[in-house]
């Protein structure tokens, strides 16, 4: 990236009044690191070494608590890049990863990366001990189907640990639905999130989850589900809620 473009990008994302730097423990790096906050949200809090945002630090922090025996676990992460994927690669027994691509069927490959649609995974039943995802399920049209598929590929006592943007209100707001003939219908003004993988750089959010996500997981067949918040170690208090569901 040319210096001029870099400066332009930095000027666009940095809120100078919020800019802070501190040295503190990074749960992903497992040691003290330089942290930066360039705006007032969890995505804008980063470890300068592993580049994890406060979202990644939160999920890894919870993973350390709920899966201390991770070195003996087969993991499936719904992304083939990023700080969580890199963390799992160094810690878990095996890591299977995938990306989503609308033009490729589950189990196929694109640019050497396995493609999976979480609504229809190609994996056998009971393939993994732990499944993880960050900020994926709000983009899945039929999330009930997706939760059922994660449940299916988990082994007995397996866990699903993930994040989605979660509001404190109870009820999930369905923003967009797919009609019976597969057309997108917006119930509310469409909301898009940044997508570093997709060609457009933006991805549609079908819903904004509320605390009833627990009910959705139990309805899908998980025996227990809870929302947990890392108690410490997340810089400037930007801990994110993490969902832990047990098969």
Q: Return residues touching Zn ion (CB under 5 A).
A: 26, 28-29, 33, 47, 49-50
Which is closer to Zn ion, CB of 27 or CB of 146? 27
CA separation for the pair 8, 135 (Å, rounded): 27
Q: How far is the CB of 124 from Zn ion (least distance, A)?
A: 34
Q: How far is the CB of 53 from Zn ion (least distance, A)?
A: 10
Q: How far is the CB of 85 from Zn ion (least distance, A)?
A: 14
Strand partners, 243: 162, 227
Strand partners, 132: 77, 161
Q: How far is the CB of 20 from Zn ion (least distance, A)?
A: 16
The 3-state secondary structure of the chain reads CCHHHHHHHHHHHCCHHHCEEEEEEECCCCEEEEEEECCCCHHHEEECCCCCEHHHHHHHHHHHHHCCCHHHCEEEECCCCHHHHHHHHHHCCEEEECECCCCCCCCCEECCEEECCCCCCCCCCCCEEEEEEECCHHHCCCHHHHHHHHHHHEEEEEEEEEECCECCCCCCEECEEECCCCCEEECCCCEEEECCCCCCCEEEECEEECCCHHHHHHHHCCCEEEEECCCCCCHHHCCCCEEEEEC
Which is closer to Zn ion, CB of 26 or CB of 42? 26
Half-sphere exposure of residue 183, counting CA atoms within 13 Å on the CB side? 4
Q: How far is the CB of 235 from Zn ion (least distance, A)?
A: 10
Q: How far is the CB of 246 from Zn ion (least distance, A)?
A: 28
Which is closer to Zn ion, CB of 189 or CB of 237? 237
Which is closer to Zn ion, CB of 45 or CB of 73? 45
Which is closer to Zn ion, CB of 87 or CB of 137? 87
Which is closer to Zn ion, CB of 50 or CB of 225? 50
Q: How far is the CB of 89 from Zn ion (least distance, A)?
A: 15
Which is closer to Zn ion, CB of 60 or CB of 245? 60
């Amino acid at each position: 990236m040319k210096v001029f473009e870099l400066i332009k990008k930095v000027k666009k994302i940095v809120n100078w009044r919020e800019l802070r730097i501190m040295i503190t423990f990074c749960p992903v790096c497992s040691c003290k690191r330089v942290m930066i906050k360039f705006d007032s949200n969890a995505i804008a809090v980063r470890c300068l070494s592993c580049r994890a945002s406060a979202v990644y630090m939160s999920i890894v922090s919870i993973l350390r608590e709920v899966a201390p025996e991770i070195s003996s676990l087969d993991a499936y992460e719904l992304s083939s890049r990023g700080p969580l994927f890199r963390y799992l690669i160094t810690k878990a027994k095996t890591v299977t990863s995938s990306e989503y691509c609308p033009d490729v069927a589950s189990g196929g490959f694109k640019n050497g990366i396995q493609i999976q649609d979480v609504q229809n995974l190609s994996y056998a039943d009971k393939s993994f001990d732990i499944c993880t995802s960050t900020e994926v399920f709000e983009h899945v049209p039929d999330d009930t189907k997706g939760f059922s598929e994660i449940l299916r590929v988990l082994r007995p006592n397996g866990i699903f640990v993930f994040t989605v943007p979660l509001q404190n209100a109870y009820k999930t707001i369905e923003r967009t639905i797919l009609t019976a003939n597969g057309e997108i219908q917006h119930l509310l003004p469409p909301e898009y999130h940044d997508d570093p993988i997709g060609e457009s750089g933006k991805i549609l959010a079908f819903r904004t989850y509320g605390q009833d996500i627990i009910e959705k997981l139990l309805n899908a067949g998980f025996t227990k589900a809870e929302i947990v918040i890392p108690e410490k170690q997340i810089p400037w208090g930007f801990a994110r809620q993490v969902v832990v569901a047990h098969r």
